[in-house]
Chain A
Amino acid sequence: MAPFVPILIMMGLAFAFVVLVTIVTFILGPKKPTPQKNAPYECGISEITPPQRRFPIKYLVTGMLFIIFDIEAASLVPMAVLMKRLGVTGLIELVTFIAILLVAFLYVWRKGAFTWE
């Protein structure tokens, strides 16, 4: 638990730093809002349509695949730490693991989830 105290402190300092800098610019900087200035950016013309917020489903599939592969990658780390100790057993486990991963990978590839746009 003790090693995490500096991490918390650093995180707090980072937040404080950003807040402080923002406050300083709010004090120092000019404040002259105009309707044109505060309009959302749109290449110099006035906005025609509000931002459409629908997004392609490809990114959703990417997100799902990411979670699954992330779990697998994270579980490889404790295996790698002990690789020498685990010896041949570890190697068999690793090969099985990667083989299963590869089956999933090839399936996803064949289904065309790795082609964007």
Chain B
Amino acid sequence: MDLASIVFLVLAAILVGSALAVVTLRNIVHAALFLVLVFGAAAGIYILLNAEFIAIVQILVYAGAVTILILFAIMLTQNPNSRGSNPMNRQALIAAFIAAALCAGIIFALSQNNAISAAASQAVTQNAGTAVAIGNLLYSPTSYSYVLPFEIATLVLLVAIVGAIVIGREED
């Protein structure tokens, strides 16, 4: 086994472990803080795939911003400090079954189609994950360009802002 696979296994173990902690911990703030670790480990996997820019945006947006938003939202709830503030799901059995079925489905699909698994296991080539490469892909009109999808994504963000205001201002 080479170094990259060992690193990957460690990161995957951290990711899965802290994701389980997010779901099972009884204190909801602890659960939210484990989310930071989940996002960090995910960023590590991106780095392993040479997707530098995505990894850092993952930390910036998810670990830095989304977690804070979740924590702010928790602060609005009645009593986040009580021991059982993260209610356990009563449908754990069904959920476990569905999750296992989904996992099996993904593994089956990957094993059936060699092209997908080859593409999925392949790291982005060196320097293809930097800001320059992303900029070339997103904005450059000469290369295969995502200019229009990008602008549409901006519009989606605009809709998201309107939604945020509508939801957030409701209770005043």
Interface residues of A (CB under 8 A from B): 1, 4, 53-55, 57, 59-68, 70-72, 74-75, 77-79, 81-82, 85-86, 89-90, 93, 96-97, 100-101, 103-104, 107-108, 111-113
CB distance from B85 to the nearest CB of A (A): 10
**CA A75 – CA B164 in complex, angstroms?**
20
A/B interface sample: 15 pairs, CB < 8 A: A60-B73, A61-B165, A61-B169, A67-B66, A68-B157, A68-B164, A71-B157, A79-B135, A79-B138, A86-B140, A89-B141, A96-B151, A96-B154, A104-B158, A112-B169
Chain B neighbourhood of A111, CB < 8 A: 165, 169
B65 touches A97 (CB 8 A): no
Is B132 an interface residue when CB atoms closer than 8 A count as contact?
yes
In the complex, how many residue pairs between chain A and chain B have their CB atoms under 8 Å apart? Answer: 123
Report the minimal beta-carbon distance from A83 to chain B, rounded to whole angstroms: 9
Question: 7 new A-B pairs (CB below 8 Å) besides A67-B66, A70-B65, A86-B141?
Answer: A61-B168, A64-B164, A65-B164, A66-B69, A74-B57, A86-B139, A96-B154
Interface of A is mostly: helix
Q: Is the CB of A1 within 8 A of B47?
A: yes
Q: Complex: how many Å from CA A70 to CA B61?
A: 7
The residue from B53, B72, B140, B171 contacting A59, defined by CB atoms under 8 A apart = B72
- Taking CB atoms, residues of chain B closer than 8 Å to A66 are 65, 68-69
Residues of A contacting B141 in the complex (Cβ-Cβ under 8 angstroms)? 86, 89
A78 in contact with B168 (CB, 8 Å): no
Interface residue? B80 (CB, 8 A): yes
Once the chains are docked, how many angstroms separate the CA of A61 from the CA of B76?
A: 12
Chain A residues with CB under 8 Å of B57's CB are 74
State how many angstroms separate the Cβ of B29 from the closest Cβ of chain A.
Answer: 10
How many Å lie between the Cα of A97 and that of B81 in the bound state? 42
The 8 tightest CB contacts between A and B, nearest first, are A78-B135, A61-B168, A64-B164, A63-B69, A55-B75, A82-B135, A104-B161, A78-B134
Q: How far is the CB of B148 from chain A (nearest CB, A)?
A: 10
In the complex formed, the residue of B with least CB distance to A85 is: B140
- The residue of chain A having its C-beta at the shortest distance from the C-beta of B170 within the complex is A57
User: Known contacts A64-B168, A79-B139, A82-B135: does B157 contact A54 (CB below 8 Å)?
Assistant: no
Chain A residues with CB under 8 A of B138: 75, 78-79
Which residues of chain B have C-beta atoms less than 8 A from A100's C-beta? 151, 154-155, 157-158
Please state if A93 and B78 are interface contacts (CB–CB under 8 Å). no
